Structure 1
């Protein structure tokens, strides 16, 4: 039985998403055009990206959403187990491990962690991708749970530490993925140990004292 038009369209969309994720991860978003994505995905129509997704921004959001369901499901399951835990480590663990466990499930090579590192440092895509991530119900629940246990902080310090937390998670995961791809990862290093180190560091970050302002 020959695949229908909608089946072929779905396969083409998936191929474009996988190809764009890899190219953006390896070269950066600005360096890769929609035409290059179409060509690398083996599409004779150089406007295939525009036809299936619209703008480059729409393509980036589609890549994020392709992974979001898995991350959201993992985080929701973790939240169900900790309920109203009084331990900050439990909430930080939900924040970290939902991502690292998803990345581990992708196998190697994978490109998603490096893709996220690229788009979250892109001037016009940064807010788009961050807003997409923090708007999920499980993320909001995790953030609320964390901030119930974090000492009262000046608003500027709270924003600064939120920014530090995001940088640590995004770039440590990207480094781990890069090392796996290059074959330079430490033999005893795993996604689980990466998560454990991140949780330790982030708990310390949020509980660290604040230098008194003069």
Structure 2
């Protein structure tokens, strides 16, 4: 009964449905607002980011972090290909294939931006970090709905696997590149090499605070003025 109810109601924009007793957003609403919308916005911003990076020089030395990021990003791309194929076989929602196709395109853009930005930016990509964080929360809502609706288990499992890979990708993308920057850039202050999350909560100040607890700080202990990459 739940499957029949879901088939009828999930093609309604919603935003909410009780099917039969669980209050939840419809898949049409979630895929339109939580998937297609953010993916479109991200894809519009990626070319601007790539153009900016293209005009800068390479700032890192060869390192294993590049290959770790690339491996995780390609794994996400593979899962999105699988998800698109699964939706094509079990398509009952109007927005299923468009949302999956946009997610696949977004995953490809993530691979390109991650590979390109890793070498040409001295700090983690703000655009990539913000999108991945937002996408994780939005995908968690959709994953819950897929399991509630008792959609084909392969779709729910693949979608959830993609969510887990995004969490892992966010973790590796948010790490500082300070350890493998080229010599001219290693002298930059932590503020210049920290990612958006680090700068938002002023986490880069911790080493200064710890030093201040152990001794009286001098001018030599302070960071040099901020530089922009």
Rg larger in 1 or in 2?
2
Same fold (TM over 0.5): no
